[in-house]
Amino acid sequence: MVEELVVAGVAVASGAAVYAMAAAKVIKQYERGVVLRLGRLRSQVRAPGFTMIVPIVDRLHKVNMQIVTMPVPAQDGITRDNVTVRVDAVIYFKVVDAADAVVQVEDYRFAVSQMAQTSLRSIIGKSDLDDLLSNREKLNQGLELMIDSPAMGWGVQIDRVEIKDVSLPEAMKRSMARQAEADRERRARVINADAELQASKKLAAAAGVMSAQPAALQLRLLQTVVAVAAEKNSTLVLPFPVELLRFLERAQQPGQQQPAQQPAAEQPAQVTKGEQEEPPAVEAGSGEPSSGEIEAGSAEPPAVESGAEKVPEAETAPGTAADPAPVELPLPPAA
């Protein structure tokens, strides 16, 4: 009898130990426990630590509450400006409601992965190539909103979505390189033109200062000669400035006294040797001949018109200037 009691006690103890081992569960700090009793969800979510469930009746699901880093497979797509690209991303999410993550979705990891891929393809089709390359922060925010909207019903919160890499075709890479080179050349030309404009303004101001003092141009020329001749390895061809000649001409003008010119009316007419004075022409019938001007250097004097004969020329002594003597002409007979 005693032996039977001992065997029964051992059997009961063994069953209790097995039951305790089956009922005892340990939940880690970063986990939460969701209990389904006979298929129905228990409202209380088990906290981290030691907990007990009813074996065979209860089923415990442990849900990881840590932030999960999931890479999104690379997706091929065509951008809005018809460029074929290949884009991959990475998504960070965590479970905020363990019960919804177990009940509302079969596998929340797979669901988030598929949602991220479809949202990434949608973002590629709505964006330009320049946005994918330079405006990624805005695209990341849009992608996060697209994934987070359905994920909230699954008890999942999307923390961050990052576009990791954008792969372009080789032809597009060469085109972009040529475009960047042309843009840099354009900026270099604009900078050079701006420098030339500023230099021209400074030179114009310097020319205005030098025009007030002509000697400043000569000093500047000498400074240039000194700067070039410092190397002593080249032949210097020095142009002679016209401004220097003008400066020297103005410097000589105060030392020279030019004779004052007399008015033309006061200068006496001089007759050189060999020149003859021509008497004025006298018409017949006039009472007194009129005096005329003497032209020097004339070979033949004009003929004197009369009714009888030709009046000979009056001779003057060499080196003397005298008025022509009046010539008496016979009057024609009265009709």
pLDDT, tens digit (0-9, with 9 covering 90-100), for 52-98: 888 888 888 899 999 999 999 998 888 888 888 999 999 999 999 89
Q: What is the pLDDT of residue 254?
A: 62
Q: What is the pLDDT of residue 10?
A: 83
Cβ atoms of residues 165 and 87 within 8 Å: yes
| Across 256-262, average pLDDT | 48
Q: Which residues pair with 72 in a beta bridge?
A: 89
| Across 210-233, average pLDDT | 79
Task: Answer whether residue 200 shows pLDDT above 70.
Answer: yes
The residues, any chain, with a CB within 8 Å of residue 195's CB and separated by 6 or more, are none
Name the residue with higher pLDDT: 262 or 253: 253
Name the residue with higher pLDDT: 222 or 325: 222
The pTM (predicted TM-score) of the whole model is: 0.52
pLDDT band for position 311 (cuts 50, 70, 90) = very low
Predicted confidence (pLDDT) per residue in 280-302, tens digit: 444 444 444 444 443 434 444 44
Task: Answer whether residue 245 shows pLDDT above 60.
Answer: yes
Q: What is the pLDDT of residue 9?
A: 82
Counting Cα atoms < 13 Å in the Cβ hemisphere of 276 gives 12
Summary mean pLDDT of the chain: 76
DSSP string, 81-146: TS-EEEEEEEEEEEES-HHHHHHT-S-HHHHHHHHHHHHHHHHHHHS-HHHHHH-HHHHHHHHHHH
